[in-house]
């Protein structure tokens, strides 16, 4: 009598629209950890300073922003009207590390299929593993930068002379980080799915992220935006994330619950659309790359 065989994994190109392989991806969490370790190691491999670059890069960028936008252009660092004393260096560093994580994750994730085509063409694993690993490997650098930012923040608190204060809004920082992760991964996997057919997008990503940066309150405060255009500016989902992050860190600034919840709605929708599109493309992307 022939023995019946049972298979743990069945690979097929046919599945439902909402079959996103979330459970299967979770079972490959060890592979995610290995990819995170690989990505972070390769990023600083054969460099003299190693992970210190995670501190040096935002530090020098913040110095340049402080000189150019703060001193020469004299752009406001106020997110809301009020008599606040805010260190410009701290303001620019907070915005820079947020944007560095968001743009870094988006850029690398948007190249998921193209950069991993050799591996994906030979070995099966849930393709969603790659963008998730990217988000977490970028999070390590962000964590290093956040520790540096908090250290500078504590120094300013101890020295006094500023309007910085500790409030319960500090608890919003992890939520802002989570939202940055979901939005960057969502945008990245949408672009990655489209680049399998439209390679022009690979050239547009760098240019697009630069434009997006200047359309977000990174180099200037929200107070620079005319009140009549504020509602339009707040439709940018990155804007409420950055302003909320700064409000939580500084203890004052701009926070509107309506715009904040709207940015979460946009984030969830973008992430969900990205998952669906990514799931559909992963079945046939090897035929188009």
Distance CA 121, CA 186 (A): 23
CA-atom Rg of the chain in angstroms: 21
Find the DSSP H helices in 10-128. Answer: 22-27, 29-44, 53-65, 88-109, 112-115, 117-120
Predicted local distance difference test score (pLDDT) of residue 8: 58
Predicted local distance difference test score (pLDDT) of residue 123: 76
CA-to-CA separations, 124 to 24, 35, 120, in angstroms, rounded:
12, 15, 6
Predicted local distance difference test score (pLDDT) of residue 247: 95
Nearest Cα to 95, choosing from 76, 72, 110, 111?
76
Predicted local distance difference test score (pLDDT) of residue 15: 57
Q: What is the domain partition of the chain in residue ranges?
A: 43-288
Residuewise pLDDT in 10s, the chain (289 residues) = 455 655 555 555 555 555 566 777 778 788 889 888 888 888 777 777 777 778 888 899 999 999 999 888 888 888 888 788 888 999 999 999 999 999 999 998 988 777 776 677 677 777 888 888 999 999 999 999 999 999 999 999 999 888 899 999 999 999 999 999 999 999 999 988 888 777 777 778 888 999 999 999 999 999 899 989 999 999 999 999 999 999 999 999 999 999 999 999 999 999 999 988 888 777 665 545 5
- pTM for the structure as a whole: 0.88
Check: CB of residue 60 under 8 Å from CB of residue 87.
no
Check: CB of residue 110 under 8 Å from CB of residue 199.
no
Predicted local distance difference test score (pLDDT) of residue 283: 65
Predicted local distance difference test score (pLDDT) of residue 240: 96
The DSSP H or E segment spanning 269 is helix 257-281
Predicted local distance difference test score (pLDDT) of residue 284: 62
Compute CA 182 distance to the chain's CA centroid, rounded to the nearest angstrom.
Answer: 7
Predicted local distance difference test score (pLDDT) of residue 250: 93
Predicted local distance difference test score (pLDDT) of residue 21: 66
Report phi then psi at 237, rounded to 5.
-65, -20
């Amino acid at each position: 009598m022939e023995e019946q065989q049972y298979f743990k994994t069945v690979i097929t190109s046919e599945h439902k629209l909402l079959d996103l392989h979330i459970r299967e991806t979770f079972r490959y969490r060890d592979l995610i950890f290995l990819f995170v370790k690989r990505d972070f190691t390769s990023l600083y491999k054969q460099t003299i300073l190693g992970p210190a670059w995670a501190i040096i890069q935002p530090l020098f960028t913040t110095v340049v922003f402080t000189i150019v936008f703060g001193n020469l252009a004299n752009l406001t660092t106020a997110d809301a009207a009020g008599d606040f004393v805010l260190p410009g260096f701290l303001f620019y560093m907070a915005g820079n590390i947020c944007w560095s994580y968001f743009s870094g994750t988006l850029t690398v994730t948007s190249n998921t299929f193209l950069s991993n085509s050799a591996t994906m063409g030979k070995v099966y694993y849930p393709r969603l593993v790659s963008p998730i690993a990217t988000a977490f490997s970028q999070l390590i650098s962000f964590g290093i930068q956040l520790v540096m930012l908090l250290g500078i923040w504590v120094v300013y608190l101890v020295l006094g002379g500023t309007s910085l204060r500790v409030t319960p809004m500090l608890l919003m920082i992890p939520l802002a980080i989570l939202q940055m992760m979901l939005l960057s991964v969502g945008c990245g996997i949408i672009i990655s799915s489209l680049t399998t057919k439209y390679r022009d997008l690979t050239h547009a990503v760098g240019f697009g992220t630069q434009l997006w940066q200047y359309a977000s309150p990174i180099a200037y405060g929200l107070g620079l935006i005319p009140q009549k255009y504020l509602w339009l500016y707040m439709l940018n989902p990155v804007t409420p994330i950055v302003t909320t992050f700064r409000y939580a860190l500084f203890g004052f600034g701009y926070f509107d619950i309506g715009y904040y919840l709207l940015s979460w709605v946009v984030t969830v929708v973008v992430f969900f659309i990205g998952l669906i599109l990514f799931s559909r493309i992963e079945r046939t992307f090897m035929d188009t790359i």
